[in-house]
Amino acid sequence: MDAEDRILRIWTPILLRTILAAAVTLLTAGLLVSIRHSSGDYSSALQAIQQNSATVHRPAILLLAQAATGNAIAIVTLGLFVLTLVPFARVSFCFVLFLKQKSLVFATFTAYVLAGLVLGMLLGRIG
């Protein structure tokens, strides 16, 4: 097994499990902070949604800053962002593997799925 195969077949599952573990950790931490503090974060978020002011996108650095200060919603949102990296990474690795194996049909379908994931993330951020 050459180095490329080793990276794709052995290290890919390790990387995917690490991303998943990070997402679960963030989601659990966000839920625990939410239970512990029982703050009005969720009621203020609900009011923002009802007043249509929740559609304003905040920069990622603000989300990180709020998560660092212990904002439960920011921590859970960060966990969900990390969780979306799992399918993205999996499809990306499959695409590279199919290209390496010269399976152009599978690479084409995988590229289509990858484009859908990227477009979905961009449109979710934009609109």
DSSP 43-91: HHHHHHHHTT-TTSPPPHHHHHHHHHTT-HHHHHHHHHHHHHHHHHHHH
Q: How far is CA 25 from the centre of its chain?
A: 13
Structure confidence by residue, pLDDT tens digits, 59-116: 778 888 888 888 888 888 889 888 988 888 889 988 988 898 899 999 999 999 999 9
Give the whole-angstrom CA distance, residue 109 versus residue 113. Answer: 6
Q: What pLDDT is stored for residue 127 in this prediction?
A: 41
Q: What pLDDT is stored for residue 97 in this prediction?
A: 85
